[in-house]
Structure 1
């Protein structure tokens, strides 16, 4: 028997599936919690200016978004010439991707 995948629309799953959306929201919230915990622990800043959302990328597919705002958010991730970068989000993305 030959496999027929004509009724499988993986593209629609990535664009519309509510289960995937809920999963992306959960992962985003974990990233936001991690940022808030590590940022608060290390610096005392940005613990309340982090949020997670699910949006669409430029191709229309769902993606998880963690938005950290505030004066120190960028410097915590990228560092300055005086402070080492902490890479909070980069470490989280590495852990999620395995």
Structure 2
């Protein structure tokens, strides 16, 4: 049996598939949940707002952005003295295994 690849759209499936989009949302939400639950202890900041922005980039590839913001909790000094100035980035970096498992 011969296969003719002319006219196939296999490269477009990851960009247009609702199933792939659902997986992307689930993984991004796992990262957002990790930030929400670890931000106070690890950084001294309360997670005031965590949002998952998903959609397509200019090139058509699916992408998700975890947008996190917070405010400094003066009464919760736990974590902030040992966390360092880039602690929020490290919280998200440590969330990578959780995102990969979801």
TM range (shorter): 0.5 to 0.7
* Cα RMSD after superposing both structures: 2.6
Using the alignment, how far apart are the partners of 1:92 and 1:27 within structure 2?
10
In terms of fraction of residues, the more strand-rich structure is 2
Greater length-normalized contact order (CA 8 Å, ≥ 6 residues apart): 2
Larger radius of gyration: 2
Aligned residues: 87
Aligned counterpart in structure 1 of residue 91 of structure 2, from 88, 93, 96: 88
Unaligned runs of 5+ in 1: 73-81
Displacement of 1:12 in angstroms is 2.0
- Contact 2:45–2:71 (8 Å) recurs in 1: no
Point out 4+ residue stretches in structure 1 off by more than 4 angstroms: none
Taking the aligned partners of 2:40 and 2:2, their CA distance within structure 1 comes to 56
Q: Which residue of 2 aligns with 1:69?
A: 69
TM score, norm. by length of structure 1: 0.68
| Ranges in structure 2 where 5+ consecutive residues have no aligned partner | 73-82
Per-residue Cα deviation, 1:59-98 (whole angstroms, up to 9, x for no partner): 11111221112456xxxxxxxxx925331122223x2468
Q: How does 1:2-81 map to 2 (within 5 A)?
A: 2-6=2-6, 8-42=8-42, 43-46=44-47, 48-71=48-71
